[in-house]
A and B are shown apart, each in its own frame.
Chain A
Amino acid sequence: MITFDHLSKEYNGVYAVNDLNFEIPGGEIFGLLGPNGAGKSTAILMLTGLIEPTAGRCLIDGVEVAKNPIEVKHRIGYMPEDVGFYTNLSASENLDFFARLYGLDTSTRKSRIDELLSMMNLDGVEKLVGGYSKGMRQRLGIAKALLNDPAVIILDEPTANLDPQGVADYRRIIKKMAADGKTVLVSSHILSEVSLVCTSIGVLSQGKLVAEGTWKELTRVLQGEQVKILVETRGSMPEFNHPDLISAEYSNENHEAVITARSDIRDDIADTLREQNVMIRQLTLDRSTLEQAILLYYNTGDK
Chain B
Amino acid sequence: MKSNGLPVIARKELRDHFRSRKFLLIFGIFLIITTIGMISGAAEYNKELQQYNERQSVADDDEFGMGFGGWGKPSIMSIYLQVSLLIITLGAVLGIAMGFDLISKEKETKSLKILLSHPIYRDEVINGKALGGLLALAIALGITFIITFAILLLSGIVPEGDELLKILVFGGAAFLMILSYFALSLFMSTVANDSGKALVYTLVIFVALTSLPILVNGPVMSIVIGDPPEYPEQMFSSDSVHRGMSVVSSSVSSDGKVEYKEPEPDPVWEEYNRQIKEYLNKRQSISDTITLISPTMNLQPLSYKLLIPDYSRMMSMVFSPVGGDDFEVQETDVFKDIFKNIIALFAFPAAFLGLAYVRFMRMDIR
Contacts of B133-189 to chain A: CB distance below 8 A: none
- Does B8 lie within 8 Å of A84, measured CB to CB? no
Contacts A50-B365, A144-B114 known; A88 to B5 CB distance under 8 Å? no
Q: How many A-B residue pairs have CB under 8 A?
A: 79
B113 within 8 A of A: yes
Residues 322-366 of B, flagged 1 when their CB comes within 8 A of A and 0 if not, give 000000000000000000000000000000000000000000111
Query: Among the listed B8, B119, B366, which residue makes an inter-chain contact with A70, where contact means beta carbons less than 8 Å apart?
Result: B119
**Count of residues in A whose CB is under 8 Å from the partner chain:** 32
Within 8 A of B (CB), among A84-118: 84-88, 97-98, 100-103
CB of A70 within 8 A of CB of B121, answer yes
By the criterion CB–CB under 8 Å, are B114 and A68 in contact? no
For chain A, residues 27 to 80, give those with C-beta under 8 angstroms from any C-beta of chain B.
41-42, 45, 48-51, 68-71, 73-74, 76, 78-80
B366 contacts A51, C-beta separation under 8 Å: yes
Give which listed residue, B3, B8, B112, contacts A97 with CB less than 8 A: B8
**A23 CB within 8 Å of chain B:** no
A82 within 8 A of B: yes
| Cα–Cα distance between A83 and B112 once the two chains are bound (Å) | 10
* Dominant secondary structure of chain B at its interface with chain A: loop
Cβ < 8 Å to A, chain B residues 5-35: 5, 8, 12, 16, 19-20
Q: Determine the distance from Cα of A84 to Cα of B116 in the docked complex, in whole angstroms.
A: 12
Q: How far is the CB of A218 from chain B (nearest CB, A)?
A: 29
- B-side interface residues, number (CB < 8 Å): 26
Instruction: Taking A42-B366, A98-B114, A101-B119 as given, write out 12 further A-B residue pairs in contact, using a Cβ cutoff of 8 Å, ordered by the A residue number.
Output: A51-B366, A70-B1, A70-B2, A70-B3, A74-B1, A84-B113, A85-B109, A86-B111, A88-B16, A101-B4, A101-B8, A102-B119
Shortest distance in angstroms between B79's beta carbon and chain A's nearest beta carbon?
38
Which B-chain residue is minimally distant from A73 (CB atoms)?
A: B119
Residues of chain B with a CB closer than 8 A to A80's CB: 110, 113-114, 117
Q: Is B118 located at the chain interface by the 8 A CB criterion? A: yes
A73 touching B109 in the complex, CB below 8 Å, given contacts A68-B1, A88-B16: no
Q: Does B120 make an interface contact (CB < 8 A)?
A: yes
Please, which residue of chain B has its CB at the minimum distance from the CB of A45?
B366
